[in-house]
Amino acid sequence: MYVCICNAVTDRTIREAAASGHSFADLRRRTGCSDCCGSCEDMAREIFEEARAARTLDLPLLAAA
């Protein structure tokens, strides 16, 4: 789904950025997400933080495999 309508940024793009270890500032710089009207920022940050938390939780599982 589109999270940032101004810049056509999807939740998938946000999740992939977080999973790749990028910061939210990186995402903003690369995609323009939340850099125009700003109405998407809360949702974009929430999705980003959830994906980053999931990534962090996965690390011990990957190390153990």
Binding flag, residue 6, ligand FES (CB under 6 A): yes
Binding flag, residue 40, ligand FES (CB under 6 A): yes
**In angstroms, rounded to a whole number, what is the distance separating the alpha carbons of residues 46 and 28?**
14
Q: How many CA atoms lie within 13 A of 17 on its CB side?
A: 23
Of 10-18, 19-27, 32-40, 51-59, the window that binds ligand FES (rule: CB under 6 A) is 32-40
CA 36 vs CA 6, 32, 33, 43, 63: distances in Å: 7, 7, 8, 15, 40
Binding flag, residue 4, ligand FES (CB under 6 A): yes
Binding flag, residue 38, ligand FES (CB under 6 A): yes
Residues lying near ligand FES in the complex (CB under 6 A) are found at: 4-7, 33-40
